[in-house]
Amino acid sequence: MTKKLFYNGKIYISFKPLTVAEAMLIDSDTITDYGNLESESDEVERIDLQGKTVIPGFIDSHMHLDELGEYLNSIDLRGVRTIDEMKLRIQSQMSSERWIIGHGWDQELLAEGRWPTSSDIDGVSGQKPMLLSRVDLHSALLNSQGMKESGIIEMSELSPFIERDGQGNPTGIIKEKALGYVKDLIKKKRTKEYWKKLLTDAISYASKKGVTSIGFVSCSEDIFKLLLEIDKKDLKIRIFVFVNPDFMMKEEFPSYLKDDSMMKIAGVKLFSDGSLGSRTALLSFDYADDRGNRGLAAMSGGDIYSMAKKAESLGLDVATHAIGDKALDTVLGVYSRLHFNHRIEHASLIRQDQFDLIKKVGAILVTQPHFVVTDFWILDRVGKQNAKIVHPFKTILRKGIPQAFSTDCPVEPLDPWETVKAAVDRGKERGIELSILSDNEVLSVADSLDIYTRGSAGALRHKRIGTLERGNYADFIVLDREPLNSDLSEISVLETYVGGQRAFLGEPPSTPFSKTKV
């Protein structure tokens, strides 16, 4: 039986325009009709929603599937307030793996008022190497054994990305390229079976959160090949892959460019700068709390252009990371020379003079509302005078610039309701200063849900997801309450469907991402 009739519910077909139906008919994997439908045919499976709410599945247009899997199987360091608390978490959650992996600390929360060092954690790890990534995934802490086994201290090309004290000794803090090197080193030591477990864990987790499609960014060749080996029944979400540039440049790469409804290579991920948390985002002005520092360029405009041209020749999209306003200048300059309109990831700082060029080049902005909450210290970095250019979600919408939502998970919680709440609240409930100085940038719940569904579908270039219109894939979630007039923190996903097939049933489990506090 291929036909299913979902009836007796409140079904949001789309949020812009706001379209609501009582019933929805599905044939195989596709929505064929909606409205006030009735069917007595024995050939239709009737599913009574019992008054529950249905909305299109969330589309997280920018996240790291492999990093999420790693996080779900590593030490949770989110919200630690002291170095002693960090050490206790390490001791209580240490695994039997050779490398000890943790994620989520933020020096801005530590009572010590400084970055942690290798000497702080050497005593709790024994002879095992340890890598503890900062919440933004742009910096990390290595213990002494980790520095020794990775060999990065002797690598002159990584020296600019290794922090040292006044005597020239490494502190254990590594950033950007040095972190990337160590992460790649650890990945190569993992078995294929271990990585498959991480990936399937992450896929299942996303489905439980009501995410039906993802943009998997910064995917390496090895991880992509493992995705191809995962059983189709375990692909509970649609995966749009944005590969690393080195994979794209390989001679055999075009052979992987196949159209598939559940998983396909959609583009390439490039970097223009770093992060504000690590003070590596590229600014047109000095950091307010680090005079003389304006961040780092991760790639030159010329390199971004050459990679983008290669991507265009392969029919692929380009997704370029640009957090600082100076990095955005670089990307806009490159995009003005390209033939297609492409994505800009984050766009955390946008000056007024940049909006017209964003529209002119036709860029799609992929933003992360929860940055507002996690980066509660952001005005310390950029200065209160620049509050109006920080995360201008409403201005982007008002100017008619295509926008998509995402979490950059595990940088931010994958839970879509936390993202929506951040978009409509901007941290006001938590007393975050930015919410007061930029309260004109709050979004409505309906606008946020539209951006998170239809808008994100646009960022993935897919016309059959994002709404429950006729002809679209039957990707939707069943909620325990109506979202437009409810406490967002209390909404639960009861069921997740992808292509008309149930991918998740039951209450979401308690997880490290269920609550995020500042």
The pLDDT tens digits of the residues spanning 137-189 come to 889 999 999 999 999 999 999 999 999 999 999 999 999 999 999 998 988 88
pLDDT at residue 513 in the model: 40
Asked, for residue 147, whether it belongs to a domain, the answer is yes
pLDDT in tens, 279-333: 999 999 999 999 999 999 999 999 999 999 999 999 999 999 999 999 999 999 9
Asked, for residue 135, whether it belongs to a domain, the answer is yes
For the purposes of burial, counting CB atoms within 10 Å of the CB of 299, is it exposed (0-12), middle (13-18) or buried (19 or more)?
Answer: buried
d(CA 178, CA 160): 9
Who's near 174: CB < 8 A, 6+ residues apart? Answer: 139, 140, 141, 142, 152, 158, 161, 162, 163, 182
Asked, for residue 24, whether it belongs to a domain, the answer is no
Asked, for residue 56, whether it belongs to a domain, the answer is no
pLDDT in tens, 51-64: 999 999 999 999 99
d(CA 272, CA 321): 6
d(CA 153, CA 151): 6
What is the chain's percent helix, strand, coil content, to nearest 5? Answer: 35, 25, 40
Stretches in the chain below the pLDDT threshold 50: 508-518
pLDDT at residue 516 in the model: 34
Asked, for residue 112, whether it belongs to a domain, the answer is yes
Helix (H, G, I), strand (E, B) or coil at 253: helix
d(CA 517, CA 82): 15
What residues pair up with 497 in beta bridges, in sequence order?
476, 502
Asked, for residue 75, whether it belongs to a domain, the answer is yes
Q: Euclidean distance between the first and final Cα of the chain, in Å?
A: 49
Residue 56 token pair: 């299109």
Output the domain CATH number for residue 172.
3.10.310.70
Report in angstroms the alpha-carbon separations of 358 from 40, 87, 342.
52, 45, 10
CA 185 to chain centroid, in Å, comes to 23
Asked, for residue 268, whether it belongs to a domain, the answer is no
What residues pair up with 504 in beta bridges, in sequence order?
496
- DSSP label at 440? G
d(CA 391, CA 346): 9
Which residues form the domain of 184? 67-188
Question: Could you tell me whether strands 501-505 and 493-498 are parallel, antiparallel, or unpaired per DSSP bridges?
Answer: antiparallel
pLDDT at residue 95 in the model: 77
pLDDT at residue 507 in the model: 59
Number of domains in the chain: 1
Asked, for residue 199, whether it belongs to a domain, the answer is no
